[in-house]
Chains A and B, each alone.
Chain A
Amino acid sequence: MATARIGLGRVIRPFIPGILLLVLWELGALYLFDPRFLGQPSKIIASFADHAMRPRIWRHVWVTLSEIVVGYAIGVVLGAALGYLLGVREDLARLFEPYIIILNGIPKVAIAPLLIVIFGIGMASKVAIVASLVLFLMFYGVYVGIRTIDVDFIYQARIMGVNRFGEIRHVVLPAIMPNVLVAMKTSAVYAVIGAIIGEFIAAQAGLGYFILDASGTFNVTDIWVGVVYLMILLFALTGLIGMAERRLLRWLPKKTIG
């Protein structure tokens, strides 16, 4: 009996601060401030559920999700390939690193309008914005990972007679995996930001478009609904990466500074 209560408490406890915040917000909206500006949780939840029943919002979710997934995939693959290449070829790194620093220094948000001019107001331009954000984060994750590998591990494997492919698979990849996964998690957040900014600038669909549309009609509740759907998207993405992380990084010491 006692253990069951402790188990239930464990499940509920993380939700308590959040629920408390929503209750305070609701009370504030009722008695303290004008909910037309800040929104009201009960209305947001009702509208969220209402939207979930109808296909309109799912079309927007689908568009944004596609932009994020495709752009993210392109950015991850290109960034990782570039990071690997420059990581193992010091001559190429010396040649290209200054250009990468300059390109990385360009605020991607600032060139988003340019990408929309180039790729149009459809999904392609958002894919490009997302990919341009993810690419550099991935590049640095893989590049730094390769540059900081303990070379003795590589030598050990080579003395055992490992070939080039085996070396990458059994030594290089696992050794850089912590850096790669941090870069993948960080860039998932940036991917969502990139897609929304693209949709804010010019779009015909997507959650960013939905939020902008709601703000155009001063529909604060629907702005919040769009944000909640976005957060669900982001949590699903980071959750997937977190699962991969738990599987791939089982070997890391479970220690904390405390």
Chain B
Amino acid sequence: MTDAPISIRGVRKVFTDAGGSPDVVALEQIDLEIPARSFVSFLGPSGCGKTTLLRMIAGIEQPSAGQIVCKGHAVDRVNTDVAYVPQGRGLFPWMTLCQNIEFPLRVRGVAAAERAKRARAWITKVGLEGFEDSHPWQLSGGMEKRGALARALIGDLDILLMDEPFGPLDAQTRLVLQDDLLRLWSEKRSIAVFVTHDLVEAVALSDLVVIMSRRPGRIKKIVPVNIPRPRNVFEIFHADGFNAAYDEVRETLRGELALVA
């Protein structure tokens, strides 16, 4: 037993199709302790179950075997101790940016004036002043992701789960958002669990890179990244410790990618 805030113990996930297709084993024998104040990435080829693992921590999916313990409780229903930035569309399209960012506070019954004040502060922090009353379709992909990030962080929770949040963005916008994310995350240093298939992104952001094999996903290796913080993602290639971590991750991943490609 450990007192790590998130503890994944012997987790297996099988997807059964009622239509009679053979069962798909998505994850096999996952054991992982995620320490406090750490930034952890799940990295692996597509279909390796990294998103499924994140969704299980969020309580959206349940393990077929094993257990996930979050802050001392087994996760057996939707986990309200975490903030979650989903893949794809980040915000509710029917709410304005401000209503979206306020929503987690509204759910908790925070008074309207207080909500508005805190939402405005976060909108400023993520650089979206002037777009308070815009609906998501009026925002660019990068702006919508910033909004989603603000909405995840406004609740001031200890755990932040992100599922390929910057996946569909162009390279420039990605860098800027990675930089924003690190800046905002380091203010509080809650646990961040980040799913990505981008090797450089994983190394640049994380303290630990959890490398997963292709299906059925198993943890192949956990690579610690010893780049000092605060980090500059724009010049991450020159940072101390980047090369060592990058090479180790790439070596570990090579076999997996070659098999898929």
Contacts and interface: CB of A to CB of B under 8 A. Distances in A.
A86 to B, nearest CB: 19
A250 B92 contact: no
A171 interface: yes
B78 A174 contact: no
Contacts of B95: 170, 174, 251
Interface stretch (A11-19, A112-120, A154-162, A205-213): A154-162
B137 A251 contact: yes
Contact of A170 (B103, B108, B155): B103
B78 A155 contact: yes
Q: Is the interface of A mostly helix, strand, loop or mixed?
A: helix
A177 interface: yes
A258 interface: no
Nearest to B96: A251
Contacts of B135: 250-251
A160 B103 contact: yes
Contacts, number: 60
B104 interface: yes
Interface string B195-209: 000000000000000
A175 interface: yes
Given A152-B88, A251-B137, A159 B80 contact: yes
A153 interface: yes
A182 to B, nearest CB: 16
A161 B107 contact: yes
B206 to A, nearest CB: 22
Given A171-B92, A177-B94, A251-B95, A160 B80 contact: yes
B79 interface: yes
Contacts of B94: 174-175, 177, 251
A162 B86 CA distance: 17
A28 interface: no
Given A152-B86, A251-B93, A160 B60 contact: no
B82 interface: yes
Contacts of A239: none
Interface in B107-142: 107-108, 135-137
Interface in A42-81: none
A159 B92 contact: no
B232 to A, nearest CB: 31
A105 interface: no
Contact of A159 (B84, B89, B93, B108): B84
A230 to B, nearest CB: 35
28 contacts: A150-B89, A152-B86, A155-B60, A155-B78, A156-B86, A156-B92, A157-B107, A158-B78, A158-B80, A159-B59, A159-B60, A159-B78, A159-B84, A160-B83, A160-B103, A160-B155, A161-B80, A161-B104, A161-B108, A170-B95, A170-B103, A174-B94, A177-B94, A250-B135, A251-B96, A251-B136, A251-B137, A253-B137
Interface of A: 150, 152-153, 155-163, 166, 170-171, 174-175, 177, 250-253
Given A155-B58, A160-B104, A174-B95, 12 more contacts: A155-B86, A159-B79, A160-B80, A160-B83, A161-B80, A161-B104, A161-B107, A170-B92, A170-B103, A174-B92, A252-B93, A253-B137
Shortest Cβ-Cβ A-B pairs, 7 listed: A174-B94, A253-B137, A158-B78, A161-B80, A251-B94, A251-B135, A160-B104
